[in-house]
């Protein structure tokens, strides 16, 4: 996989290892012909599909863009803040000028490490705090789930959708709401049952959750976790499914309606180019269908062509801003109006979504 | 000539020392074949695994930071294991310790009080003990199986933590993300020195090693519960109470795990989030057994396992090795270590025929 | 005629001992062949080599003239060699019938097998309930299971390791009849025993071992007891010096009308037990294991407690509610039949095992162990009781059964108990060690200690006891003065016949305290 460091270079770097900790002196002092050192910390092992896979594609994009001028260091399977902090710190002190964190849980450690290395660039996916040398980037998942919700409503016979989420955090709660709002734009009676696994990766539990949702009458299953289990089990049960992060049609070719996929390459490549050129500045990016960070994978042939066409149109409208998934009026589970008609939910509220819209069955537990 | 395996009448002291050496030799042989087959230079890989992480002050700091909770928890568990009390729920007790300590850290009125940290240590200890008291009580009164109860309570603890950070304890300024506010500085352990992460909580661990060593070597109480563990019928014959073993075995584990959880929050974490431990409570079981349930052994075992983990990260960074490769290597090394242990209690002799 | 079994120059070395040294012997078809020797003489090792559990370092075994190459128990069974082990190879958690089924291997019909077990056990006078769970069985019952298991296989060579120590005299004669019958049918029998009169009665030939070597191959019927003992021990046999009776009036232990229900369905419950033991007196409880012996031991030792404190008294203090530790504080000591796991912690060293019960002798101060005192105590016990061990730091499980028994006897006696409970004091011990233990008990009693002995060995009880009672199906018989009863009378009671007056045990207590 990522094994660009030769032994000679390893010996050279090992000398610097740890000595420069806390000094921040590494920055921009590299000679022009030295490759740019990029570090990335993945939250799980890189597998065929899923969250980490999509981030690794971003790294691959850097490699193909900058070629010899870049060397990559990747550490997989690092979730917990205690471990992540050590690795960020080691990467920064061993001369990695650009360091990516790919999980919300990397936030606190990055916020601790970044100030100690003011000359290094840190990029944090799912981050909420940014510094002069700590940028954040995030996808508008809800745009994808809204489109998927529309597709689901066209295909659902029971008007019941099932949603499986890893954790009840705003980045999941919001998209679950948008999924239902999209569906309700087609059929206002649609409801959505929600189950949280409290894990990103637990195929056993996810299988159980999928079975439960199907037995509750849901005939479209959308699973925002790091596995394809939801898609696969739904297929076995004859229910439609919606993939997340990667195109998961290979796991249930017949029943996979579409997937809202993540493509971070533009962000990764831009950051690398900017650091190499010395023009990098920390930024807050929140991008979706318009920028191509969120994409819809090819629609299932079972979806009527006119519906497919309307979905394409919907994507274009969302991209252009003509349609906003969180446009009023939106009521919460108890029927209180949370977003008034003729208004759109403000961005900070979207990023902190912690309530369910009307029609969601389930709770945050 | 054919080999014969015999049990030793008394464990060999020479082999006790030589077993780790034998494990090392086996590991080196294995790693040469393994890394070479994967196209890595074995020498530099081993160097990156075991030497490089310790070749800087920061590396040593990280090493101790990770070893400290492992050692602390394993010490407590070992007391229970000697008594045949199988507390495998230290992870849950750690979480409760962290939760209890955080409750003090977040809600104690005087955020700058010098008593804040000592109170948190106490709360962490009591939190872990309270969680371990449930299986102790159930085993004592209803003869339930503590393996199941402690393990199940770990899941309960995880959910409780999840509830707190998603609900009442969520940081009001944290964009609704599931984590608490950062603890005030007075609620945090000071670093041992400078920018390094390892903090004063290692003194607690060092102290615990000493106390545990003394307790297991010299105290009659420890003797009694170890009889209960090695031969329950003999303990009944001698009139030693089983309830002593149950309560002491679980309370020791709970107290130490609780303090370890507190030290994570008041150290590298600084706040609670849904996941606060990389499985320290479970890894400590391995540490306890590698250390043969002996305080000094556990100290070495904890340092070893910690190095193994940190080395695993280090080769990913320095050599770009994938995490699955480092895991295979870690597993193989553990296997050799345990296999070499066999020779302490058994010998292989060659006889004619 | 080709020997059924022949050993040539068998040698086996263990880490600390040469167990067998150049042993040769021949067993003809239909021969009853005794292996005699002290504990540690290498008898058990030799049997294990014959059976294939242990591999000899040197030497060869021939079966029907054919050398046995790589030897294994499965091969033994194919050749028709069956063994009744001294330490039973039974699975604790399943029933008798299932145990036998497991040892046979393959498919089985458990109902049919249970029936066979019942038949065989009845025919040979070895009562065994095929549905009992093994962990509920006493030592004696387990041995019966082993014998029945072997007999079910129609063996060609049957090895019995100290088989009669747990049988009633009547059952012994029935077993001998069985063995003679088997021999007449052509089965060869290897009979390990230390009871010379049994060997003389039963066996055609005897190979005598001492320190792993053959000291003589004799015809026991034609050789004098003294001569055989000399070959075994190397010196003349010690005789137990019976004490002058100095029984005091002071009651050490009194049990009044205790009835317990058994904890498990196959265990025996105790029914209206009354008993008293006075200082300076040795009282024996005879009976076959499984009739409530284990329950009675636990009741007296404190491993089981009762709510009614007054129902058991030790030196006039109510103790029935006290645990074993508190009773020991009052001067009780107990030598249990299970040495490993109960009387001693197998993985602990001897000095650590001293602390187990003898910590009361100043081995603990302020909650801390004083191991130097435990060491001195252990050295004393090892020396005084002739325990053969690799020093005071050898782990208990490394000692032979007899040596560990001597160690535990020594540990308990050296605490100078006021009341001593002993279960099967010489079970599995060789002649010399058994005599020594008996003498020790007698001496202890002479110094004023009250001793209660629970044993299956009637000879032993008659040799050392003042009074005897029989425990049968949870009831105690009346008490008999040893010099006023006979082996036969007690033997009949052990087998379940009622004696005159035995329906009123209280009378017997009063009778005994007169």
- Cβ neighbours of B347 in C, within 8 Å: 15
Beta-carbon count within 10 A of B289 CB: 18
- Dihedral over Cα of C78, C80, C86, C92: its sign: positive
B306 shares contact with chain A (CB less than 8 Å):
no
B3 shares contact with chain C (CB less than 8 Å):
no
Alpha-carbon distance C235 to C238, whole Å? 9
C412 and C432 assigned to the same domain: no
A22 and A74 assigned to the same domain: yes
CB A3 within 8 A of CB B319: yes
Closest to A294 (Cα-Cα) out of A319, A265, A253, A260: A260
Alpha-carbon distance C147 to C121, whole Å? 9
- Cβ neighbours of B324 in A, within 8 Å: 45
Examine residue A283 and state whether it is found in any structural domain, yes or no. Answer: no
The conformational region for residue C76 under phi > 0 = left, psi -120 to 50 = alpha, else beta, is: alpha
Closest to C451 (Cα-Cα) out of C508, C409, C507: C409
- Angle, helices A51-66/A265-277, rounded to nearest 10 degrees: 40
- Residue that terminates a domain, selected from A83, A107, A139: A139
B197 shares contact with chain A (CB less than 8 Å):
yes
Q: How many domains does chain C have?
A: 3
Examine residue A286 and state whether it is found in any structural domain, yes or no. Answer: no
- State residue C472 phi and psi, 5-degree precision: -135, 125
Question: Nearest CA to CA, how far is C499 from chain B (Å)?
Answer: 34
C360 and C459 assigned to the same domain: no
pLDDT (0 to 100) of residue C266: 54
C190 and C146 assigned to the same domain: yes
Cross-chain CB nearest to B178 (options A3, A46, A167): A167
Residue at token pair 């955090």: A169
Examine residue A189 and state whether it is found in any structural domain, yes or no. Answer: yes
Closest to C355 (Cα-Cα) out of C345, C346, C347, C341: C345
pLDDT tens sequence across C314-356: 999 999 999 999 999 999 999 998 888 899 999 899 999 999 9
- State residue A323 phi and psi, 5-degree precision: -120, 135
Alpha-carbon distance B139 to B133, whole Å? 10
Examine residue B300 and state whether it is found in any structural domain, yes or no. Answer: no
DSSP alpha helix (H) spans, chain A: 7-16, 51-66, 81-93, 107-113, 141-155, 170-186, 203-215, 229-236, 265-277, 305-320, 347-351
CB C353 within 8 A of CB C411: yes
Examine residue B271 and state whether it is found in any structural domain, yes or no. Answer: yes
Q: How many domains does chain B have?
A: 1
- State residue B299 phi and psi, 5-degree precision: -55, -50
C324 and C367 assigned to the same domain: no
C51 and C178 assigned to the same domain: yes
C311 and C360 assigned to the same domain: no
Best probe of the A interface among B317, B325, B328, by most A CBs < 10 A, is: B317
User: What is the three-state SS of C419-448?
Assistant: EEEEECCCCCCCHHHHHHHHHHHHHHHHCC
Question: Nearest CA to CA, how far is C22 from chain B (Å)?
Answer: 15
- Dihedral over Cα of A178, A181, A187, A191: its sign: positive
- Dihedral over Cα of A217, A222, A226, A231: its sign: positive
- State residue C253 phi and psi, 5-degree precision: -125, 130
pLDDT above 70 coverage of chain C, percent: 89
Examine residue C239 and state whether it is found in any structural domain, yes or no. Answer: no
pLDDT (0 to 100) of residue C508: 36
Beta-carbon count within 10 A of A343 CB: 13
Going by the DSSP 8-state scheme, the letter that residue B269 receives in this structure is I
C353 and C268 assigned to the same domain: no
Closest to C208 (Cα-Cα) out of C230, C186, C188: C230
The conformational region for residue C468 under phi > 0 = left, psi -120 to 50 = alpha, else beta, is: beta
CB B305 within 8 A of CB B316: no
B348 shares contact with chain C (CB less than 8 Å):
no
Examine residue B81 and state whether it is found in any structural domain, yes or no. Answer: yes
pLDDT above 90 coverage of chain A, percent: 75
CB B286 within 8 A of CB B91: no
Examine residue B46 and state whether it is found in any structural domain, yes or no. Answer: no
Going by the DSSP 8-state scheme, the letter that residue B284 receives in this structure is H
C264 shares contact with chain B (CB less than 8 Å):
no
Is A10 in contact with B319 (Cβ distance < 8 A)?
yes
C409 and C422 assigned to the same domain: no
Domain interval for residue C437:
251-331+417-513
- Cβ neighbours of A13 in B, within 8 Å: 318
B1 shares contact with chain C (CB less than 8 Å):
no
Domain of C76, CATH number, reads: 3.40.50.300
The DSSP result for A223-271, as a single string, is EESSSSHHHHHHHHTT-EEEEEES--GGG-TTTEEEEEEE--HHHHHHH
pLDDT (0 to 100) of residue C504: 39
- Cβ neighbours of B227 in C, within 8 Å: 345, 348, 356
Between positions 101 and 160 of B, the ones with CB within 8 A of A are 158-159
Between positions 163 and 192 of A, the ones with CB within 8 A of B are 167-170
- Residue that terminates a domain, selected from A139, A163, A197: A139
A60 and A171 assigned to the same domain: no
A194 and A97 assigned to the same domain: no
A24 and A164 assigned to the same domain: no
A97 and A158 assigned to the same domain: no
Low-confidence spans in chain C with pLDDT less than 70: 16, 39, 86-88, 124-125, 138-140, 165-171, 235-240, 242-245, 262-267, 428, 497-514
- Cβ neighbours of B230 in C, within 8 Å: 345-348
A172 and A213 assigned to the same domain: yes
pLDDT tens sequence across C64-98: 888 887 778 888 888 888 888 766 678 888 888 88
pLDDT band at A34 (very low <50, low <70, confident <90, very high): confident
Alpha-carbon distance A230 to A239, whole Å? 10
* CB pairs < 8 Å spanning B and C: 87
Alpha-carbon distance B233 to B255, whole Å? 28
A212 and A315 assigned to the same domain: yes
A83 and A172 assigned to the same domain: no
- Cβ neighbours of A76 in B, within 8 Å: 316, 322-323
Examine residue A246 and state whether it is found in any structural domain, yes or no. Answer: yes
Structural tokens at position A116? 């100690």
A127 and A158 assigned to the same domain: no
C383 and C422 assigned to the same domain: no
Examine residue C197 and state whether it is found in any structural domain, yes or no. Answer: yes
Examine residue C337 and state whether it is found in any structural domain, yes or no. Answer: no
Cross-chain CB nearest to B56 (options A17, A72, A82): A17
Is B234 in contact with C356 (Cβ distance < 8 A)?
yes
Closest to C476 (Cα-Cα) out of C306, C286, C295, C310: C286
Mean pLDDT across the stretch A250-255?
Answer: 94
C404 and C428 assigned to the same domain: no
Alpha-carbon distance B238 to B224, whole Å? 9
Average pLDDT value over all residues in chain A: 88
- Asked if residue A19 has pLDDT above 50, the reply is no
- Residue that terminates a domain, selected from C397, C416, C435: C416
Q: How far is CA C458 from CA A42, C168, C237, in A?
A: 78, 8, 19
Whether B contacts A, i.e. 3 or more CB pairs less than 8 A apart, is: yes
pLDDT band at A328 (very low <50, low <70, confident <90, very high): confident
Cross-chain CB nearest to B41 (options A4, A7, A167): A7
B313 shares contact with chain A (CB less than 8 Å):
yes
- Cβ neighbours of A345 in B, within 8 Å: none
Helix (H) or strand (E) holding C32: strand C32-37
- Cβ neighbours of A352 in B, within 8 Å: 175-176
Domain interval for residue B116:
67-289
B353 shares contact with chain C (CB less than 8 Å):
yes
In degrees, to the nearest 5, what angle opens at C-alpha C448 toward C-alphas C446 and C452?
85
Closest to C401 (Cα-Cα) out of C348, C458, C344, C358: C344
| Residue A208 exposed, middle or buried by CB count within 10 Å (0-12, 13-18, 19+) | middle
B270 shares contact with chain A (CB less than 8 Å):
yes
Beta-carbon count within 10 A of C362 CB: 11
- Cβ neighbours of B221 in C, within 8 Å: 367
- State residue C39 phi and psi, 5-degree precision: -60, 135
Question: Nearest CA to CA, how far is C322 from chain B (Å)?
Answer: 9
Sequence-distant (≥ 6) Cβ neighbours of residue B142 within 8 angstroms: none
- State residue C469 phi and psi, 5-degree precision: -130, 155
- Cβ neighbours of A3 in B, within 8 Å: 319-321
C419 shares contact with chain B (CB less than 8 Å):
no
> What are C404's strand-pairing partners?
none
CA atoms within 13 A on the CB side of A288: 19
C54 shares contact with chain B (CB less than 8 Å):
no
Mean pLDDT across the stretch A227-247?
Answer: 95
Domain interval for residue A94:
7-139
Per-residue burial over C161-185, b = 16 or more CB atoms within 10 Å of its CB, e = otherwise: bbbbbbbbbebbebbbebbeebbee
- Cβ neighbours of A19 in B, within 8 Å: 56
Rg, chain A, Cα only: 21
pLDDT (0 to 100) of residue C493: 84
Question: Nearest CA to CA, how far is C128 from chain B (Å)?
Answer: 25
B176 shares contact with chain C (CB less than 8 Å):
no
Between positions 274 and 313 of C, the ones with CB within 8 A of B are 301-303
Helix (H) or strand (E) holding B246: helix B242-264
A93 and A204 assigned to the same domain: no
Domain of A125, CATH number, reads: 3.40.50.2300
Examine residue B87 and state whether it is found in any structural domain, yes or no. Answer: yes
Examine residue C241 and state whether it is found in any structural domain, yes or no. Answer: no
A185 and A308 assigned to the same domain: yes
- State residue C348 phi and psi, 5-degree precision: -90, 155
Is C55 in contact with B223 (Cβ distance < 8 A)?
no
Beta-carbon count within 10 A of C361 CB: 17
pLDDT (0 to 100) of residue A31: 47
- State residue B72 phi and psi, 5-degree precision: -60, -50
Between positions 38 and 57 of B, the ones with CB within 8 A of A are 41, 44, 47-48, 52, 55-57
Alpha-carbon distance C116 to C151, whole Å? 10
Alpha-carbon distance C475 to C479, whole Å? 12
C275 and C367 assigned to the same domain: no
Rg, chain C, Cα only: 23
C60 shares contact with chain B (CB less than 8 Å):
no
ipTM strictly over 0.90? Answer: no
Alpha-carbon distance C185 to C387, whole Å? 43
Low-confidence spans in chain B with pLDDT less than 50: 353
Is C324 in contact with B236 (Cβ distance < 8 A)?
yes
Question: Nearest CA to CA, how far is A256 from chain B (Å)?
Answer: 30
Beta-carbon count within 10 A of C72 CB: 13
- Cβ neighbours of C325 in B, within 8 Å: 238-241
DSSP alpha helix (H) spans, C154-224: 169-184, 196-202
- Cβ neighbours of B220 in C, within 8 Å: 355, 359, 364, 367-369
Beta-carbon count within 10 A of B93 CB: 37
First to last CA, chain C: 65
Cross-chain CB nearest to B219 (options C323, C368, C393): C368
- Residue that terminates a domain, selected from C365, C399, C416: C416
Structural tokens at position B276? 């606060």
- Residue that terminates a domain, selected from A121, A139, A157: A139
Question: Nearest CA to CA, how far is B145 from chain A (Å)?
Answer: 25
- Grouping H, G, I as helix, E, B as strand and the rest as coil, residue A333 is coil
Sequence-distant (≥ 6) Cβ neighbours of residue B324 within 8 angstroms: A45
B231 shares contact with chain C (CB less than 8 Å):
yes
Q: How many domains does chain A have?
A: 2
Examine residue A201 and state whether it is found in any structural domain, yes or no. Answer: yes
- Cβ neighbours of B180 in A, within 8 Å: none
Between positions 352 and 381 of C, the ones with CB within 8 A of B are 352, 355-357, 359, 364, 367-369
User: Quick one: chain C helix, strand, coil %, rounded to 5?
Assistant: 40, 25, 40
pLDDT (0 to 100) of residue A265: 96
Structural tokens at position A250? 């290979």
C394 and C421 assigned to the same domain: no
A336 and A230 assigned to the same domain: yes
């Amino acid at each position: 996989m990522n094994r660009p460091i030769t032994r000679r270079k390893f010996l050279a770097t090992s000398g610097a290892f740890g000595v420069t900790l806390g000094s921040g002196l590494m920055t921009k002092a590299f000679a022009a012909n030295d490759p740019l050192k990029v570090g990335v910390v993945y939250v799980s092992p890189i597998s065929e599909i899923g969250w980490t896979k999509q981030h690794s594609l971003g790294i691959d994009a850097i490699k193909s863009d900058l070629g010899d001028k870049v060397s990559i260091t990747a550490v997989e399977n690092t979730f917990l803040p205690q471990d992540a902090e050590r690795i960020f710190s080691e990467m920064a002190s061993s001369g990695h000028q650009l360091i990516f964190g790919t999980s919300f849980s990397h936030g606190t450690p990055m916020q601790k490490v970044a100030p100690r290395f003011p000359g290094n660039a840190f990029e944090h996916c799912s981050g909420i705090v940014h510094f002069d040398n700590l940028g954040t980037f995030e996808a508008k998942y809800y745009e994808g789930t809204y489109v998927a919700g529309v597709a689901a409503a066209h295909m659902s016979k029971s008007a019941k959708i099932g949603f499986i989420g890893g954790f009840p955090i705003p980045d999941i709660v919001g998209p679950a709401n948008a999924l239902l709002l999209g569906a309700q734009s087609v059929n206002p009676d649609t409801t959505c049952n929600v189950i949280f696994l409290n894990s990103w990766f637990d195929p056993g539990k996810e299988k159980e959750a999928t079975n439960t949702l199907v037995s509750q009458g849901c005939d479209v299953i959308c699973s925002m976790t790091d596995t394809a289990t939801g898609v696969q089990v739904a297929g076995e049960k004859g229910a439609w499914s919606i993939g997340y992060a990667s195109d998961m049609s290979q796991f249930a070719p017949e029943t996979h309606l579409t997937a809202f996929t993540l493509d971070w390459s533009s962000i990764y490549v831009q950051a690398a180019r900017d650091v190499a050129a010395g023009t990098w500045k920390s930024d807050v990016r929140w991008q979706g269908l318009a920028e191509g960070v969120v994409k819809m994978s090819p629609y299932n042939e079972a979806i009527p062509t006119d519906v497919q066409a309307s979905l394409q149109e919907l994507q274009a409208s969302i991209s252009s801003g003509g349609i906003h998934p969180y446009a009023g009026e939106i009521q919460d589970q108890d029927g209180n109006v949370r977003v008034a008609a003729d208004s759109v939910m403000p961005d900070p509220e979207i990023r902190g979504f912690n309530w369910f819209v009307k029609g969601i069955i389930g709770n945050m537990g | 000539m054919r080999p014969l395996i015999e049990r030793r009448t008394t464990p060999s002291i020479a082999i006790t020392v030589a077993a780790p050496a034998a494990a090392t030799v086996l590991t080196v042989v294995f790693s040469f074949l393994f890394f070479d087959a994967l196209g890595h230079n074995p020498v530099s890989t081993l160097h990156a695994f075991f030497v490089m992480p310790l070749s800087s002050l920061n590396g040593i700091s990280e090493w101790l930071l990770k070893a400290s909770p492992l050692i602390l928890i394993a010490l407590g568990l070992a007391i229970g294991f000697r008594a045949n009390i199988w507390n495998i729920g230290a992870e849950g007790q750690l979480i409760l310790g962290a939760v209890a300590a955080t409750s003090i850290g977040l809600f104690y009125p005087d955020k700058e009080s010098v008593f804040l940290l000592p109170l948190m240590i106490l709360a962490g200890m009591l939190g872990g003990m309270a969680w371990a008291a449930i299986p102790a009580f159930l085993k004592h009164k209803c003869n339930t199986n503590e393996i199941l109860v402690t393990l199940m309570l770990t899941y309960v603890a995880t959910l409780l933590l999840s509830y707190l950070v998603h609900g009442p304890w969520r940081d009001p300024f944290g964009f609704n993300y599931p984590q608490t506010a950062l603890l005030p500085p007075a609620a945090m352990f000071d670093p041992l020195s400078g920018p390094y992460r390892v903090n004063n909580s290692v003194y607690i661990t060092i102290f615990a090693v000493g106390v545990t060593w003394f307790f297991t070597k010299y105290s009659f109480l420890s003797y009694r519960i170890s009889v209960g563990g090695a031969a329950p019928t003999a303990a009944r014959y001698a009139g030693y109470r089983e309830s002593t073993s149950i309560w002491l075995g679980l309370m020791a584990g709970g107290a130490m795990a609780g303090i370890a959880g507190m030290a994570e929050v008041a150290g590298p974490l600084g706040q609670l989030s849904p996941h606060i431990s990389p499985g320290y409570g479970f890894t400590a079981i391995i540490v306890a057994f590698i250390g043969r349930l002996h305080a000094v052994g556990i100290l070495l075992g904890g340092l070893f396992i910690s190095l193994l983990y940190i080395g695993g990260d280090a080769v990913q960074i320095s050599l770009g090795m994938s995490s699955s490769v480092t895991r295979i290597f870690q597993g193989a090394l553990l296997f050799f270590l345990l296999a070499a242990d066999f020779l302490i209690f058994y010998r292989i002799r060659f006889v004619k025929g | 005629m080709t020997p059924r079994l022949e050993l040539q120059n068998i040698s086996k070395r263990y880490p600390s001992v040469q167990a067998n040294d150049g042993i040769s012997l021949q067993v003809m078809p239909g021969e009853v062949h005794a292996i005699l020797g002290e504990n540690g003489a290498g008898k058990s090792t030799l049997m294990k080599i014959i059976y294939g559990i242990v591999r000899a370092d040197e030497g060869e075994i021939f079966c029907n003239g054919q050398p046995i190459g790589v030897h294994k128990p499965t091969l033994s069974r194919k050749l028709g060699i069956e063994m009744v082990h001294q330490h039973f190879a039974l699975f604790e958690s399943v029933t008798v019938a299932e145990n036998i089924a497991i040892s046979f291997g393959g498919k089985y019909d458990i109902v049919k097998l249970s029936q066979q077990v019942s038949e065989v056990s009845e025919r040979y006078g070895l009562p065994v309930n095929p549905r009992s769970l093994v962990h509920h069985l006493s030592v004696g019952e387990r041995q019966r299971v082993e014998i029945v298991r072997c007999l079910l296989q129609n063996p060609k060579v049957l090895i019995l390791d100290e088989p009669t120590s747990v049988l009633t005299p009547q059952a012994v004669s029935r077993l001998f009849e069985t063995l003679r019958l088997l021999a007449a049918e052509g089965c060869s029998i290897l009979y390990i025993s230390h009871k010379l009169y049994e060997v003389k009665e039963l066996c055609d030939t005897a190979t005598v071992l001492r320190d792993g070597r053959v000291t003589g191959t004799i015809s026991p019927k034609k050789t004098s007891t003294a001569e055989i003992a000399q070959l075994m021990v190397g010196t003349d046999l010690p005789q137990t010096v019976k004490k002058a009776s100095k029984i005091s009036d002071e009651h050490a232990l009194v049990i009044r009308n205790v009835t317990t229900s058994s904890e498990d369905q196959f265990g025996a419950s105790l029914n209206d037990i009354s008993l008293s033991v006075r200082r300076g007196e040795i009282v024996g409880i005879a009976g076959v294991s499984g009739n409530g012996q284990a329950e009675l031991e636990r009741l007296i030792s404190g491993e089981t407690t009762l709510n009614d404190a007054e129902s058991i008294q030790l030196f006039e203090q109510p103790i029935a509610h006290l645990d074993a530790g508190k009773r020991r504080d009052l001067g009780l000591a107990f030598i249990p039949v299970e040495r490993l796991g109960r009387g001693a912690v197998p993985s602990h060293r001897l000095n650590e095992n001293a602390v187990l019960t003898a910590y009361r002798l100043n081995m603990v101060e302020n909650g801390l162990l004083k191991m130097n005192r435990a060491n001195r105590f252990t050295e004393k016990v090892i020396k005084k009781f002739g325990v053969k061990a690799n020093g005071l730091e050898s782990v208990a499980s490394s000692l032979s059964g007899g040596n560990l028994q001597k160690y535990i006897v020594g540990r308990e006696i050296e605490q100078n108990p006021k009341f001593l409970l002993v279960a099967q004091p010489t079970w599995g011990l060789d002649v010399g060690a058994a005599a020594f233990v008996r003498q020790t008990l007698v001496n202890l009693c002479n110094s004023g200690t009250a001793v209660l002995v629970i044993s299956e060995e009637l000879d032993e009880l008659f040799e050392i006891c003042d009074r005897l009672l029989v425990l049968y199906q949870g009831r105690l018989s009346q008490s008999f003065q040893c010099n006023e009863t006979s082996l036969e009378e007690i033997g009949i009671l052990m087998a379940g016949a009622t004696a005159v007056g035995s329906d009123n045990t209280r009378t017997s207590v009063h009778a005994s305290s007169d």
